[in-house]
Amino acid sequence: MAKIGIIGSKGRMGQALAEAIAQAGHSHAGGADQGDDIGALVAASDVLVDFSSPAALQATLDACTAAGKPVVIGTTGLEDAHHAAIDEAAKRIAVLQTGNTSLGVNMLAALVEQAASRLGDDWDIEILEMHHRHKVDAPSGTAKLLGQAVARGRSIDLAANSESGRDGITGARARGAIGFAALRGGSVAGDHMVILAGDEERIELSHRAENRMIFARGAVKAAGWLVGQKAGRYGMDGVLGF
């Protein structure tokens, strides 16, 4: 069993992670939040799980790299500079970064990739997501994860083929585009749907999160899997075995 430390322990996900660690039989090594000594937590842990904020990511990576400890990063809203920092850290430690730690969502991504690879670009693909009113980033990290699955399936670049924020007279939909729509309201933990729309037929692949414990349990499973892995950058596909 692993000693798992939580960065961002006082947030809603941090509290869920503490419960999931106990459920899985691992040891809770403690938590750290803004202003706390991350180094002490890292030293006491076999693996870290970070659900804090993009602004705190570099400090997490620096501490984990210095101590040679693996880290699971579930923080969303990351930009290119954050991913570059993760790539650099992954040269020295095992880093698992994902937009969603739910096992069900990652299985959905695998199905989406397969569908996108087998259907031509005459099938329009739209990704719809809804989250609670307090979420600050859009599209969600999960929506981006699903968009990346589409892009892999079609062997295209996601950034160059994305459409979002449609408003007013936008013109016809571009062939092969990957569309994103974000809804916010209430206490929704996370709903995602990938729509593949062909002529006179439509496929809808969806996932609904009923409780954020699904993310916590997935993150803890990922943390246990990451212990002992060699340095490198990993995703949830490794945890699921594909």
* Cβ-proximal residues to 84 (8 Å cutoff; 6+ apart), any chain: none
Distance CA 186, CA 211 (A): 14
Nearest to 89 by CA among 108, 116, 69, 107: 69
Is 230 part of the annotated catalytic residue set? no
Q: In which residue are the tokens 């899985």 written?
A: 24
First to last CA, the chain: 23
Catalytic residue, chosen from 69, 82, 131, 144, is 131
Is 82 part of the annotated catalytic residue set? no
- Tokens (6 digits) for 169: 């007279």
Q: Could you say which DSSP state residue 56 is in? A: G
Distance CA 187, CA 203 (A): 27
Q: In which residue are the tokens 């695998």 written?
A: 110
Catalytic residue, chosen from 10, 28, 132, 135, is 135
Using a 10 angstrom Cβ sphere, with 0-12 exposed, 13-18 middle and 19 or more buried, the burial of residue 187 is: exposed
* Residues with active-site annotation: 131, 135
